[in-house]
Amino acid sequence: MKHLDIAQRLEQSVISIIKGHEKNIRNILACMISGGHVLLEDNPGTGKTTLAKTIAKTIDGAHFSRIQFTPDLLPSDILGVSILNQKTSEFNFHPGPIFTDILLADEINRASPRTQSALLESMAERQATIEGKCHHIDGIFFVIATQNSVEFRGTYPLPEAQMDRFTMQCSLGYISPEEESAILATQNGGHPLDDLKPSVTFDEVLALTAAVADIRVSDELRDYIVALTSATRNIEDVQLPASPRASLALMKVSQALSLFEGLDYVTPETIQQLAPDIIAHRLVVSPEAKFNGLTGRAIVENILEQTPAPV
Can you give the binding site for other proteins, defined by CB under 8 A?
216-221, 223-224, 226-227, 230-231, 234, 236, 263-269, 272, 292-293, 304-311
- Rank residues 198 and 268 by Cβ distance to other proteins and give the closer one: 268
Smaller CB separation from other proteins, 65 or 295:
295
Residue 163 CB, shortest distance to other proteins, in Å, is: 24
Closest separation between CB of residue 273 and other proteins, Å? Answer: 9
- Phi, psi angles (nearest 5°) of residue 112: -70, 160
Choice between 59 and 251, CB closer to other proteins: 251
Is residue 6 within 8 Å of residue 204, measured between CB atoms? yes
**Minimal distance, residue 238 CB to other proteins, in Å:** 14
Element (H, E) at 144: strand 142-147
By C-beta, is 127 or 302 nearer to other proteins? Answer: 302
Distance separating alpha carbons of residues 117 and 78, to the nearest angstrom = 10
Phi-psi label, residue 281: left if phi above 0, alpha if psi -120 to 50, beta otherwise:
alpha
Q: Which residue pairs from 267-273 have beta carbons closer than 8 angstroms and sit at least 24 positions apart in sequence?
A: 267/221, 268/221, 268/224, 268/309, 268/310, 268/311, 271/221, 271/224, 271/225, 271/228, 272/304, 272/309, 273/27
Min CB(263)–other proteins separation in Å:
7
Smallest CA-to-CA distance from 274 within 301, 242, 295, 244 is with 301
Taking the complex as a whole, how short is the minimal distance between the CB of residue 213 and other proteins, in angstroms?
14
Q: Which one-letter amino acid corresponds to residue 251?
A: M
Residue with smaller CB distance to other proteins, 138 or 305 = 305
What does the alpha-carbon distance between residue 17 and residue 12 come to, in Å, rounded to a whole number? 9
Nearer to other proteins, 46 or 307 (CB): 307
How far is the C-alpha of 48 from the C-alpha of 40, rounded, in Å?
7
Q: How far is the CB of 254 from other proteins (least distance, A)?
A: 11
